[in-house]
Amino acid sequence: MVVRRYPMPWMSAVLIVISAAVVSVLGFLLANEAAREWYSGLVKPPLAPPGEVVVYAWPVALIAVVAGALRVAKATGSFRDASSALGLYFTLLAGGMIWNLAFFGLADAGLAFGVMTVVLILAFALVREFDRYSRTAALIQLPYLGWLMFAAYLTAATWGVNAEA
């Protein structure tokens, strides 16, 4: 079996990394003092981890998504050849940003759960699409997918135990 090796499409790689960094910074800004105060006043559902766990888990999960997108870009050698997978990557980043806006920016756990449902669907599609280009890229998404499912539970449960949220 002949395996083709492509050079890393550096402009694609830069776009992949910078977009994740921008989303991270915007998410951090949305989780400002007022949002943290709102969240601290909520009743926490069972299994809710301390805030520090969440603060560290999201960047680790995001690194896995970025690493997968980079592997896909490298496997194809061009942005165009990986456009369906990378399009899902960028859409997933946008979905995460919208979840942040809904949950922390608007303090609306119900809306955030609806957004998280869409994000989960996108994440499953992303794993499937990444697998077309790189099995490794798909497999390293599985912890992220697990974290998203846990986040969906936390969002729904927070909404459920806080009628005003």
> What average pLDDT is seen over the chain?
89
Residue 76: CATH number of its domain: 1.20.1260.100
CA within 13 Å, CB half, 153: 11
Residue 4: pLDDT above 70? no
pLDDT of 119 = 97
User: Is pLDDT of 5 > 80?
Assistant: no
Backbone phi, psi, residue 106, to 5°:
-100, -10
How far apart are alpha carbons 133 and 117 in whole angstroms? 25
Contact 2, 67 (CB under 8 A): no
Domain assignment present for 164: no
Question: So what's the pLDDT on residue 108?
Answer: 94
Percent of the chain with pLDDT over 70: 95
CA Rg, the chain, in Å?
Answer: 17
What is the residue range of 101's domain? 10-43+52-159
**pLDDT digits 0-9 by tens, 103-146:** 988 999 999 999 999 999 999 999 999 999 999 999 999 999 99
- Who wins on pLDDT, 30 or 112? 112
Q: Mean pLDDT across the stretch 84-91?
A: 95
Prediction pTM value: 0.86
Q: Is residue 4 part of a domain?
A: no
Structural domain includes residue 3: no
Distance CA 137, CA 126 (A): 10
Token pair listed for 59: 């960047």
Instruction: Please tell me the predicted confidence (pLDDT) of residue 28.
Output: 80
Residue 2 is assigned to a structural domain of this protein: no
Is 165 inside any structural domain? Answer: no
Q: Is 127 within the bounds of a domain?
A: yes
Whole-number Å distance between alpha carbons of 10 and 77: 9
Contacts of 35 (CB under 8 A, 6+ apart): 104, 105, 107
Q: What pLDDT is stored for residue 37 in this prediction?
A: 85
Per the domain annotation, does 5 fall within a domain?
no
Please name the residues in contact with 139: beta carbons below 8 A apart, sequence gap of 6 or more: none
What are the start-end ranges of the E strands in 4-149?
none
Give mean pLDDT, residues 68-83. Answer: 90
- CA 51 centroid distance within chain: 18
pLDDT of residue 136: 96
Identify the band that residue 152 occupies on the pLDDT scale cut at 50, 70 and 90: very high
Domain membership flag for residue 27 = yes
3-state secondary structure of 163: coil
Q: In the chain, how many domains are there?
A: 1
State mean pLDDT over 4-31. 83
Report, as an integer, the average pLDDT of 59-64. 89
